[in-house]
């Protein structure tokens, strides 16, 4: 995406969704699903921070 503000908004929403699916679960997921959720949460945090860096840099 060319606009870092759009990327920040989308990765922020993804971050909230994955955090809710991890910490708000009423029953424990399978180990594979748990690993995927944590991986996607980590990737969305990295994308969010990268977008904030681009916004701060003035791109």
Q: How far is CA 7 from the centre of its chain?
A: 11
Total domains in the chain come to 1
Check pLDDT > 90 for residue 1.
Answer: no
**Token output for 21:** 């699916």
Secondary structure (3-state) at 44: helix
Q: Are 13 and 29 in contact (CB under 8 A)?
A: no
Q: What percent of the chain is modeled with pLDDT above 70? A: 97
State pTM to two decimals: 0.85
What is the DSSP annotation of 6-32? HHHHHHHHHHHHHHHHHHT-SSPPPHH
Domain that holds residue 35: 4-57
**Ramachandran class of 43: left when φ > 0, alpha when ψ lies in -120 to 50, beta otherwise:** alpha
- Condensed to tens digits (0 to 9), the pLDDT of residues 32-44 reads 999 999 999 999 9
């Amino acid at each position: 995406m060319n606009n870092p503000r759009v990327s920040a908004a989308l990765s922020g929403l993804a971050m909230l969704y994955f955090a809710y699916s991890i910490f708000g679960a009423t029953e424990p997921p399978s180990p594979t699903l748990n690993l995927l959720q944590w991986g996607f949460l980590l990737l969305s945090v990295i994308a969010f921070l990268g977008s904030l860096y681009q916004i701060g840099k003035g791109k």
